Structure 1
Amino acid sequence: MRSGQLAEAVGVNPQTLRYYERRGLLNEPERTLGGHRLYPPETVTMLRGVKAAQRLGFTLDEIAVLLARAGLRDRARDKLGEIETRIVELTAVADMLRAVVDAGCDDLEVCATVPECPLPLG
């Protein structure tokens, strides 16, 4: 399958395929006599797995490690811990922003002088 066909099947652009090649996520494909890349059909499944891993929060470096060896379960457990920590942190930020909106803070300098200011400025 040619680059355009593969890119369309996976939902990426052809430049992404070349980027994945440079990053080592994708083996360099065979080429036609005219120089066009030809990928084996199983590349679609592999790239769909890469995109799914990205949606789960894995970086391309982490995905490269997962492709090189087993260990998805352990890495997924670690990633879950990271995500849960971020959720706690982002929830605290959201709560603070809600407090700022509810308090009617419109000016940072003025808000800092009001005891009811919800921002931790002091």
Structure 2
Amino acid sequence: MNKASKSFTIGALAKSALVSVETIRFYQRKRLLAEPDRVYGSIRRYSEADVARVRFVKSAQRLGFSLNEVADLLRLEDSVHCEEASHLAEHKLASVREKLSDLKRMETVLSQLVNACHTHTGNVSCPLIASLQEADTGPHQGFQPTETGCQQRQVPERKPN
């Protein structure tokens, strides 16, 4: 590190990168950030490149990359490996799209169940609870749509003890 470049203590690094000191230490344990040598009376000094690296990790995490995937990206950060980095990003995009599809499907089912809960009447069990209790009846966990909403089951009468 040349004398013209700015150096940071671990606290200043954390503040500049908008993370906690513990996050910096965690990244070091995960080998996402190297521990610098101790200089200036046993105080570790970090560089502007370290700030950029921590920000890179946080940006990648916000895009949904796991720390293992971030480590792979960091190994590919030079322009020679752009195609490999692109492949990792394409894989992540496919994963995100799959999760979105799953979330949309969950939203549809939950919306139907909530609606069924608001419209059921009489001596029947709650459609939401009933659907969750029938674990092996398919992807909707017991939810059986009918023309009038949830198929409602009669609640068995409890006999006094």
Q: In terms of mean alpha carbon deviation, does 70-79 or 2-11 score higher?
A: 70-79
Work out the CA distance in 1 between the residues paired with 2:63 and 2:34.
23
Structure 1 unaligned runs (5+)? 113-118
Q: Give the direction of change, closer, same or farther, for the CA distance of 1:93–1:30 in structure 2 (3 Å limit).
A: same
Percent identical among aligned pairs is: 34
> TM-score scaled by structure 1?
0.84
> TM-score scaled by structure 2?
0.65
Match 1:80 to one of 55, 79, 93: 93
Contact 2:132 / 2:141 at 8 angstroms: preserved in 1?
no
More strand by share: 2
Structure 2 unaligned runs (5+)? 1-7, 118-125, 134-139, 144-161
Work out the CA distance in 2 between the residues paired with 1:3 and 1:15.
10
Please identify the structure whose Cα radius of gyration is greater.
2
Matches within 5 A, 1:62-73: 62-69=69-76, 70=81, 71-73=84-86
Contact 1:2 / 1:39 at 8 angstroms: preserved in 2?
yes
Question: Which whole-Å deviations, capped at 9, do the CAs of 1:72-99 have from their partners, x for residues lacking one?
Answer: 2111111000000100011000111111
Contact 1:30 / 1:39 at 8 angstroms: preserved in 2?
no
The Cα shift of 1:109 comes to 3.4
Contact 2:61 / 2:67 at 8 angstroms: preserved in 1?
yes
* 1:29 aligned onto 2:42: no
Partner amino acid, structure 2, of 1:108: I
Work out the CA distance in 1 between the residues paired with 2:30 and 2:99.
27
Partner amino acid, structure 1, of 2:28: E
Following TM superposition, where does structure 1 have runs of at least 4 consecutive aligned residues deviating by more than 4 angstroms? none
Partner amino acid, structure 1, of 2:142: L
What CA RMSD, in Å, does the superposition of the two structures yield over aligned residues?
A: 2.3
Partner amino acid, structure 2, of 1:95: T
- Higher relative contact order structure (alpha carbons within 8 Å, sequence separation ≥ 6): 1
